[in-house]
Amino acid sequence: MLVHGAWHGGWCWDPVRTPLEAEGHRVFTPTLKGLAERADELSAEVSLEDHIEDVLTVIRDNDLSDIVLCGHSYGGMIITAVADRLKPRIGHIVYLDAALPEDGETMVSYGEPRPRAVVEAAEQAMREIAPDGVGMMVFPPALLGVPPDQPRHGWVEAKLTPHPLKTWLDPISLANGGPAGLPRTYVHCIDPVLAQTQFGWLYSQFKDDPEWNAVTLATGHDAMITDPAGVAQILLKAAHAPAGSKETEKKG
């Protein structure tokens, strides 16, 4: 189960799908409400809970179990809640340069502790890129680690759509510790590092933690676009082994 991040859709996992299916795995890549082919559902009311429910519904409708659950970027918010609610169905959880909130945190407030004024300024910045109060404007692919000379740059640029603002401001509710107790992997994309995010801080917390398999990929933030083979390799390892081995994947 591969969960996309902000401005993306299930389409972004297409380059990763082929190598996973070639190994016999079923691959689910739901598009979250208000994005991509569901852009006509975008409204000021689209919430974090709507996106969580999108993924829960796919899991329940298909009676999935022993899932490798992967979230990219904002998708980390979604998989954290899904793991919290359906923990017995998750075999391994993978955060791909992704958010990992604690109970009550938002996409803006999770991560390294910061003064409330700093978080409020970040929230205001998000509102400013959603001048209509509904959708945050699309970032250029280059800012997401897909440079203009990357063969898939044009494809990505054509498919990105505004992201529902409310989903970034809603606090998450976790009753069961999120991913705690599950085999878990954190992947940090380092070439280049996506600026002004908490992903590097999260990686620093997990790289020496025996409960985590923390690895790096030497590619940009949209690793499923720029290094699908590297991402697929990590997911395949997650499908066959628990966290705990200390490996660092460095892909160009």
Distance CA 135, CA 127 (A): 9
> How much is the average pLDDT of 219-247?
85
Measured between alpha carbons, how far is residue 88 from residues 83, 125, 154, 175 in Å? 8, 38, 40, 14
Distance CA 26, CA 67 (A): 10
**Residue 204 known to be catalytic:** no
User: What integer pLDDT is reported at residue 7 of this predicted model?
Assistant: 98
Residue 251 has pLDDT above 80, yes or no: no
How does 148-163 read in b/e, with b if 16+ C-beta sit within 10 Å? eebebbebbeebbbbb
What is the CA 10 to chain-centroid distance, rounded?
A: 12
Catalytic residue among 73, 109, 204, 245: 73
> How much is the average pLDDT of 7-12?
98
Residue 247 has pLDDT above 90, yes or no: no
User: What integer pLDDT is reported at residue 16 of this predicted model?
Assistant: 98
Residue 83 has pLDDT above 60, yes or no: yes
Locate tokens 């000379």: which residue? 149
Q: Which domains does the chain have, with CATH numbers?
A: 2-240 (3.40.50.1820)
User: What integer pLDDT is reported at residue 77 of this predicted model?
Assistant: 98
Residue 243 has pLDDT above 60, yes or no: no
Distance CA 114, CA 105 (A): 12
Lowest mean pLDDT among 58-67, 140-149, 175-184, 235-244: 235-244
Confidence band, pLDDT 50/70/90 cuts, at residue 42: very high
Name the percent of the chain lying above pLDDT 90.
95
> How much is the average pLDDT of 151-162?
98
